[in-house]
Amino acid sequence: MVLMISAVMLGMLFLIAPLRRNGFYMLHMLLVLAAAWWIETTYFSNKELPDFIAGWKSVALMFMVMHLISVNIVTFLAYGVDKHAAQKGERRIPENQLHTLEFMGGWCGAICGQKFFHHKSKKASYQSFFWAMLIAEALVIYVILKYLRFI
């Protein structure tokens, strides 16, 4: 499982250019890989490969849960770091990196970060792009779930 998740996470680095410069994605990747290793050694250490592959749906679900928890924590932290840098007049996190984290599923962490740190909540251009992206992502998820007959 760890090798499969590592391949997916590293593959995303090569496919999505802004991730290569996003240190928060690296933190997210490390958190997900650590959680995958822990789950694999704790819950799947005694399973043979065919049994492990037969349970791919549960593995995929665990990966999605780990990913969403991690990306939301990392997105929340990114908002805090960017707010701190803005107050100190230091180098800021580019907006496209924040949007990349949000698009990867970190929109809940982004909303919490906007409310908690009072950051990026009044910038109209940022908010309009954020909410348009959130609506588009929700529509895509709805279509996928409908196609897979989950809803």
- Cα pseudo-dihedral 133, 134, 138, 143, rounded to 10: 0
Task: Report the pLDDT value the prediction gives residue 48, as an integer from 0 to 100.
Answer: 65
| Inter-residue contact 117 to 76 (CB < 8 Å) | no
Task: Report the pLDDT value the prediction gives residue 85, as an integer from 0 to 100.
Answer: 92
* Total domain count, the chain: 1
Quickly tell me which residue has 């704790």 as its tokens: 42
Q: What single-letter DSSP state applies at residue 104?
A: I
Task: Report the pLDDT value the prediction gives residue 140, as an integer from 0 to 100.
Answer: 86
* Segments forming the whole domain that contains residue 127: 2-147
CA–CA gap between residue 151 and residue 132 (Å, rounded): 23
Of the candidates 4, 3, 32, the residue with the CA atom closest to the CA atom of residue 106: 32
User: Directed axis angle between helix 23-43 and helix 56-88, to 10°?
Assistant: 150
| Inter-residue contact 52 to 44 (CB < 8 Å) | yes
Of the candidates 108, 124, 37, the residue with the CA atom closest to the CA atom of residue 73: 108
Task: Report the pLDDT value the prediction gives residue 42, as an integer from 0 to 100.
Answer: 75
Task: Report the pLDDT value the prediction gives residue 126, as an integer from 0 to 100.
Answer: 92
Task: Report the pLDDT value the prediction gives residue 80, as an integer from 0 to 100.
Answer: 94
Task: Report the pLDDT value the prediction gives residue 79, as an integer from 0 to 100.
Answer: 94
Task: Report the pLDDT value the prediction gives residue 88, as an integer from 0 to 100.
Answer: 94
CA–CA gap between residue 94 and residue 73 (Å, rounded): 18
pLDDT along the chain (151 residues), means of 10: 70 74 80 79 66 62 82 93 93 89 90 93 91 91 81 77
Task: Report the pLDDT value the prediction gives residue 49, as an integer from 0 to 100.
Answer: 58
Quickly tell me which residue has 């990306």 as its tokens: 71
CA–CA gap between residue 134 and residue 113 (Å, rounded): 15
**Residue 25 burial (CB < 10 Å; 0-12/13-18/19+)?**
buried
